[in-house]
Chain A
Amino acid sequence: MDKKLIFHGRVWYFGEDVIDTDQILPGYAMTCEREQLKDYALAGSKIPDFAKKVQPGDIIVAGKNFGAGSSREQAPVALQSSGVGAVVAVSFARIFRRNAINIGLPVLYADLIGLVKSGDEITVDFNTGEITLPDGRTVAGQQPGESVRSILAAGGLIPKVRQQLQRKGGEAK
């Protein structure tokens, strides 16, 4: 059990609507500097002032096809740098999910629709995929695969690749 992969935080509940990448980070904000992306997190969604209100470690709960659309990695970067600790959704668009994991933002498949509301505190365990609700009940999400857990444990794909290449370089010498 990796303690780093257990997250406790306050819920932002987005309900069943599909949240596409244009809502997570509108196109007009895409070319701004990396440091400013956090100010535009979910600026195109029904909670346009999300970036002002989010607190470190907060957890987004959403419905189907979260992150549909563009491959813009600025979208998960904006969420992560705004303070979002994890995203739990019924399903994810593939490129968004990969991007999030690659930058070390944990995303988990689980159906919490109707089970939580904004402000609830929940615990998400990425070792097992299990979520603990405020009343102590647990919901089974999909347990992340080995490769996903290894990227998250390394803190993202870049640190993982750096370690890999350094190991290879070391062997060569």
Chain B
Amino acid sequence: MNEIERYLAKAANKDTVRVGEDITIRVDTVAAHDVTAPMAIHQFADIETDKVFDPNKVMLVLDHVFPAPTVQARKNHCQMAAFAKQYGVRYFGKGEGVIHQLLAEKGNLARGSVLVAADSHTCTAGAYGVLAFGVGSTEAAAAMATGTLDIEVPPVQLIQLDGVLQPGVYAKDIVLYLVGKFGTDGFTDQGIIFAGSWVKNATLAEKMTISNMTIEMGAMLSYFSELDDVGPVALTHRFDVSTFVPVAACPHSPGNVKPLSEVAGTPITQVVVGSCTNGRLSDMRDVAAVFAKARVHPEVTCVVVPASAEVADAMDKEGLTKIIRDAGATVTNPGCGPCYGGHMGLVSSTDTVASTTNRNFSGRMGATDAKVYLVSPRAAAEAAVAGTLVVPGTIMPLEGE
């Protein structure tokens, strides 16, 4: 068995599992947010049970639209607060941050444990070795009641990343390259194990950026290994990341990936930095390094959203918030921000956006004709200054060069 199968077998209380087998696994944490939880609560009521499987292992988070921009959103928040009170589950209702960042900071999830969350980017937790299943509201409701999840054991492929990144190339460029190469359904219903010398030396933030976007290739599970031998897999793909270049996912698909040098010069009207992909402290440092010496272009709106209150605190302590604000960007409260077009920075049909988020489907951030380019935080910050897409290093020299 490979590493994913070993942990699945453990969670299923079996000696072995084989690809395609239907298994029931025990779940360590179930989570949902203010877009998916209301429907999960509705479904939970239909199960007609009087308790959740373990209140300490259920987490509800207000992140997508907090504070509420509409009356309906507020109604949803109130409903979640009432549910949390009634069942005694963990409740993050003060804008503590994006669900996936909070799970990393406060989820206490050990390697090999099982996470079920009603959000497609639940795969982010694969960065720290958690078997993380993104589900819908009904499956989350069922898991809250039973503490189990029914799955089919997926075939697993290995992505081996070796080498060292060139200056100006980031984890975001690696994952965008992979989405471009394998396509948005490249790993549908399959698991991916990441390993290799680059992975060994990568920071948790870098691994989270990559794991986060594995759903953009359709993956069922993403798992970052710490072992040299992950066990038998269906297929192995090897990449030398030192040959990678800065890239952008162009409108309107995360799979429409081109070298940034090919699209450099495209005028930009809004820049968004943040999200569960790239809203962490290291991302904010990359952005502040640019904004410490250059201002946001007069015709660009730049919105910076810390992924969590912890990130926002650290930004304050390091003086990053002030640097970013002084450069002419807006630093908002932690959460999802405009990532999925909920609030705080929607765009119109004439806008072209450089964003560090993970999806650029038509209409994702507002108007269906708005164009969104997905890039690294450094590339986003330089675009904010230049007013066009540029290759990192154009506005100011990169460190290490």
State the A residues within 8 Å of B (CB).
18, 20, 22, 26-28, 30-34, 44, 64-65, 68-74, 76-77, 91-95, 98-99, 102-103, 145-147, 156-159, 161-162, 164-166
Shortest CB distance B69–A (Å): 9
CB within 8 Å for A71 and B342 given contacts A65-B184, A147-B150 = no
- Report whether B368 and A27 are in contact in the complex, using a CB–CB cutoff of 8 Å: no
A72 to B35: give the CA distance in the assembly, Å: 8
A72 to B136: give the CA distance in the assembly, Å: 6
- Report whether A31 and B36 are in contact in the complex, using a CB–CB cutoff of 8 Å: no
Whether B362 is near chain A, meaning CB under 8 Å from some CB there, is yes
Interface locus among B46-54, B205-213, B237-245: B46-54
- Report whether B146 and A69 are in contact in the complex, using a CB–CB cutoff of 8 Å: no
Whether B189 is near chain A, meaning CB under 8 Å from some CB there, is yes
Shortest CB distance A10–B (Å): 27
CB within 8 Å for A32 and B72 given contacts A72-B36, A158-B47, A162-B48 = yes
- Report whether A34 and B184 are in contact in the complex, using a CB–CB cutoff of 8 Å: no
CB within 8 Å for A145 and B152 given contacts A31-B76, A73-B36, A165-B145 = yes
**Most chain B CB atoms below 10 A, which of A64, A92, A145, A157:** A157
CB within 8 Å for A99 and B139 given contacts A27-B363, A94-B220, A162-B47 = yes
In the complex, the chain B residue whose C-beta lies closest to that of A158 is B46
Whether B295 is near chain A, meaning CB under 8 Å from some CB there, is no
A68 to B134: give the CA distance in the assembly, Å: 13
| A98 / chain B contacts, CB cutoff of 8 Å | 135-136, 139
- Report whether B73 and A147 are in contact in the complex, using a CB–CB cutoff of 8 Å: no
- Report whether B47 and A161 are in contact in the complex, using a CB–CB cutoff of 8 Å: yes
In the complex, the chain A residue whose C-beta lies closest to that of B220 is A94
Beyond A98-B139, A161-B146, 11 extra complex contacts between A and B, CB < 8 Å: A27-B363, A30-B35, A31-B73, A71-B120, A74-B39, A92-B188, A93-B218, A98-B135, A98-B136, A162-B47, A162-B48
- Report whether A93 and B185 are in contact in the complex, using a CB–CB cutoff of 8 Å: yes
A70 to B135: give the CA distance in the assembly, Å: 10
A162 to B188: give the CA distance in the assembly, Å: 30
- Report whether A71 and B118 are in contact in the complex, using a CB–CB cutoff of 8 Å: yes
Whether B22 is near chain A, meaning CB under 8 Å from some CB there, is yes
| B269 / chain A contacts, CB cutoff of 8 Å | none
Whether B168 is near chain A, meaning CB under 8 Å from some CB there, is no
- Report whether B120 and A95 are in contact in the complex, using a CB–CB cutoff of 8 Å: yes
| B22 / chain A contacts, CB cutoff of 8 Å | 145-147
Residue in contact with A95 in the complex, picked from B42, B70, B136, B364, CB distance below 8 Å:
B136
Q: List 16 A-B contacts (CB under 8 A).
A: A22-B364, A27-B342, A28-B341, A74-B39, A76-B136, A91-B185, A93-B188, A94-B189, A95-B136, A99-B138, A102-B136, A146-B22, A158-B141, A161-B47, A162-B49, A165-B49
A157 to B146: give the CA distance in the assembly, Å: 12
A146 to B47: give the CA distance in the assembly, Å: 22
| B184 / chain A contacts, CB cutoff of 8 Å | 18, 65, 68
